[in-house]
Amino acid sequence: MEANKLRLLCFCVFYLALFPTLRASIAHDAQFWQTRAREAKQAAQKAYKPNPHDIALTFNKHVDKSFKSSNGTRRGLSKYTGPCLATNPIDKCWRCDPNWEKNRKKLANCALGFGHGTTGGKNGKIYVVTDSSDHDLINPKPGTLRHAVIQNEPLWIIFKHSMNIKLSSELIFTDNKTIDARGANVHISNGAQMTLQYVKNIIIHGLHIHDIKKGGGGLIRDSVNHYGYRSSSDGDAISLFGSSHVWIDHISLWNCDDGLIDVVEGSTAITISNCHMTRHNDVMLFGASDGYSGDKVLQVTVAFNHFGKGLIQRMPRCRWGFFHIVNNDYTQWVMYAIGGSQQPTILSQGNRFIAPNNPNAKEVTKRDYAAESVWKTWSWTSENDLMRNGAFFVQSGKKSGNFPKTDIKAKPGSYAASLTRFSGAIKCVVNKPC
């Protein structure tokens, strides 16, 4: 939804008059979220990179290096037991380790791009989700995912067995959490969304998230110390609201009521990698409002994702910030792939764009709410992208950043299929490379 407002409380005067204690609690809620918003803004300012093209360059160097050293890495792995098929530097960081299960937290060192440094629950205990139910939103049962994500301390959350979790209402995270579904087939589906509101340092890895519905809202616990009223939720798969240092990796996403991944309200230091997205209209929204200049801090890396069957538009749709869209494979869209308004900087490198057969939908890009004389100044750059079936990218503005002489170009789009080959949730077996 475009108008992604601060989801607080909306109660009719009638109830307020009847229950003065409720009114007091609403005032308390507003204060609680105001404090959280203030802290989140400070965290975002700290995470913001004044030279974002350096981050893009570093990312490209990692990819380049992983190609050069891949033979050496194999020889160097002492416990190498089979063909490790990791095809990109994020995966090479952990997938070839047959002891991935014992070394789960290795993943915490693998984020590249703007989300680099996201460690999630690295410094915490392992929390094992044993119960797929979600019945009590105020006092969640120990062993449930909801109980895990509201805890104050850092946690590395894993799953005892495969399960389907139907969220009764929004799942609201606290700081320093990893959700690591490796080794189990975990679906979050047919219920409400995951919401990261004013939090930092979150890794979400290895889930299937689909058929997410609008949520009814109501009383929900958002942390051990607090619960409050929430209005309805949009029906995104994952919604980032004023959050920083978030890494979303190897998620399979499809068919939700609203967006698949929304990044809004001054979120920053985000990497979305190795995801496989299908069957959806509004895929990803980065910045929800042309009027909210607080989104100038938005900095997102979108890498190694496969935008597959049945997608329509917004892969992503950007506003205000800096977006490095690199080494993704776009095999289908109906309207366009990358769009935006309000002068976002878009650096598209090494993607493969396969246009649909519709002669009117060959353009990768789409600009909204601006005359050509205005959008001509927006920095939208395409480099080393592979254009197929008539796809074309309309560039504009100056090439982003002052790339130094040592500029290492992104791996060309002809590698995108290989780099994204294992996108989506992957099946990992204990004691085997994944």
Binding segment for ligand NAG (CB under 6 A), chosen from 9-17, 67-75, 355-363, 397-405, is 67-75
Q: Which stretch binds ligand NAG (CB under 6 A): 147-155, 224-232, 252-260, 339-347?
A: 147-155
Rg (the chain; Cα; Å) = 21
Task: Write the interaction track for ligand NAG spanning residues 104-123; mark x where CB under 6 A is met and - where it is not.
Answer: -------------------x
Structure tokens at 76: 């160097």
Q: Which amino acid is at 428?
A: C
Question: Is the Cβ of residue 201 or residue 365 nearer to ligand NAG in the bound state?
Answer: 201
Of residues 302 through 341, those in contact with ligand NAG by CB under 6 A are none
176 is a contact residue toward ligand NAG (CB under 6 A): yes
Picking from 281, 282, 258, 260, the residue whose alpha carbon sits closest to that of residue 272 is 260
* Whole-number Å distance between alpha carbons of 150 and 166: 17
> Which of 154/401 has CB closer to ligand NAG?
154
One residue of 45, 152, 377, 431 binding ligand NAG per CB under 6 A: 152
Residue 88 sits in the site that holds ligand NAG (CB under 6 A): no
Q: Measured from the CB atom, is 179 or 192 closer to ligand NAG?
A: 179
CB of 109 to ligand NAG, least distance (A): 14
CA dist 418 and 88 (Å) reads: 8
The answer to whether 290 and 313 have CB atoms below 8 angstroms apart is no
The answer to whether residue 67 forms part of the interface with ligand NAG (CB under 6 A) is yes
Footprint of ligand NAG on 10-49 (CB under 6 A): none
| DSSP assignment letter at 123 | T
Q: Which is nearer to ligand NAG, 123 or 379 (CB)?
A: 123
Residue 92 or 296 with smaller CB distance to ligand NAG: 92
By residue count, the chain amounts to 434
Binding mask 382-401 toward ligand NAG (x if CB under 6 A, else -) reads --------------------
CB of 416 to ligand NAG, least distance (A): 17
Residue 9 or 37: which CB sits closer to ligand NAG? Answer: 37
147 vs 324 by CB, closer to ligand NAG: 147
Pairwise CA distance, residues 92 & 411, whole Å: 16
Euclidean distance between CA atoms 179 and 181, whole angstroms? 6
78-86 long-range contacts, CB within 8 A, separation 24+: 80/433, 81/432, 81/433, 82/432, 82/433, 84/433, 85/421, 85/422, 86/422
* Segment lying near ligand NAG (by CB under 6 A), choices 84-92, 148-156, 325-333, 350-358: 148-156
Whether the Cβ atoms of residue 221 and residue 150 lie closer than 8 Å to each other: yes
CB of 119 to ligand NAG, least distance (A): 7
Does the protein bind ligand NAG through residue 91 (CB under 6 A)? no
Q: Kindly tell me which residue out of 29, 97, 134, 175 binds ligand NAG, with binding defined by CB under 6 A.
A: 175
- Indicate which residues carry an active-site annotation: 314
Which part of the chain contacts ligand NAG (CB under 6 A), choosing from 65-73, 98-106, 132-140, 338-346?
65-73
Which one of 31-39, 146-154, 267-275, 387-395 is the stretch in contact with ligand NAG (CB under 6 A)? 146-154
Q: How far apart are CA 427 and CA 434, in angstroms?
A: 7
Q: Which residues, 207 to 266, sit near ligand NAG by CB under 6 A? A: none
- Sign of CA pseudo-dihedral 247, 204, 105, 47: positive
Question: Among residues 154, 321, 350, 424, which is the contact residue for ligand NAG, using CB under 6 A?
Answer: 154
**Cα dihedral 7, 13, 15, 17 sign:** positive
Residue number, 82 or 291, with CB nearest to ligand NAG: 82
Out of 3, 21, 71, 402, name the contact with ligand NAG by CB under 6 A. 71
- Return the range that interacts with ligand NAG (CB under 6 A); candidates 64-72, 159-167, 318-326, 393-401: 64-72
Q: Are 388 and 333 in contact (CB under 8 A)?
A: no
Please report the sign of the dihedral spanned by the C-alpha atoms of residue 225, residue 231, residue 233, residue 239. Answer: negative
Q: Tell which one of 70, 185, 379, 418 touches ligand NAG (CB under 6 A).
A: 70
CB 173 within 8 A of CB 152: no
Query: Residue 316: CB partners within 8 Å, gap ≥ 6?
Result: 283, 284, 285, 286, 300, 302, 323, 325, 338, 339
Tokens of 42: 């400070």
Residue pair 270/263 in contact (Cβ under 8 Å)? The answer is yes
Q: Enumerate binding residues for ligand NAG (CB under 6 A).
A: 67, 70-71, 123, 152-154, 175-176, 201
